Amino acid sequence: MRYEKDARTPLRSDAQRNRERILEVALTELTRCAATPLSVIAKKAGVGQGTFYRNFPNRESLVLEIYRHEMRQVADSAAELLRSREPERALREWMDHLARFAMTKAGLADAIRQATGSPGSPAKPGHTPLTSAADLLLRANEEAGTIRPGVTAEDFVLAIAGLWQLDPHGDWQAQAARLLDLVMDGLRANAPGRRADDGTGADHRAAGTEEPE
């Protein structure tokens, strides 16, 4: 796992290694337990308190840096999927990927909420890579005629926000699949590239709006 600091402030190789080691340990520990003390993370990373706090002056800066990196990884997978799959399949597989991320990183999400004091979705901090990836997939599907026109990335993120409400210790796979099926059905409704009688509701006869004879 490679984390990058601002390119305007390059780190020496040893300083970069220390930073990466802190982040790797923090990801493991905070995913396991959101309340892990920073002193424990520093000790397991093999760095002193001074080194730790030079890189991350508080818990919020640490957890948000981890979260931004992890979200970039998820976001980057959107373009990879589009290169090897049809747009509709790429979108659904990316949604499944996002669901796995939301559940396997649930402890990290708790750490973000604790660090920021925000009761909302953990997708909020640094969500730009996520919305950019969603926009890429939505535009590809809109051009292919596989989803209804006019859906924005912000609409999409709101629609899937329920993923972060699932219990990672319960039967989240089945719940996530049902939620994402509902989202996909909504996106497909009235898509110009789909047949009128494919069950999406585009067929006026199915809706009972045909003209009387």
pTM listed for this prediction: 0.69
The reported pLDDT for the residue numbered 209 is 36
The reported pLDDT for the residue numbered 150 is 95
The reported pLDDT for the residue numbered 10 is 52
d(CA 87, CA 76): 15
Tell the CATH topology of 64-188. Tetracycline Repressor; domain 2 (1.10.357)
The reported pLDDT for the residue numbered 110 is 72
The reported pLDDT for the residue numbered 204 is 33
The reported pLDDT for the residue numbered 165 is 87
The full set of domain ranges for the chain reads 12-57, 64-188
The reported pLDDT for the residue numbered 117 is 61
Helix axes 128-144, 59-84, angle to 10 degrees: 20
The reported pLDDT for the residue numbered 104 is 78
The reported pLDDT for the residue numbered 205 is 31
Q: State both tokens at 127.
A: 């969500």
Give, for all 213 residues of the chain, the pLDDT tens digit: 555 554 445 556 888 999 999 999 999 998 888 889 999 999 999 999 999 999 999 998 998 898 888 888 889 999 999 999 999 999 999 999 999 988 877 777 777 777 666 554 444 444 678 899 999 999 999 999 999 999 999 999 999 989 888 888 889 999 999 999 999 999 999 999 875 445 444 443 333 434 444
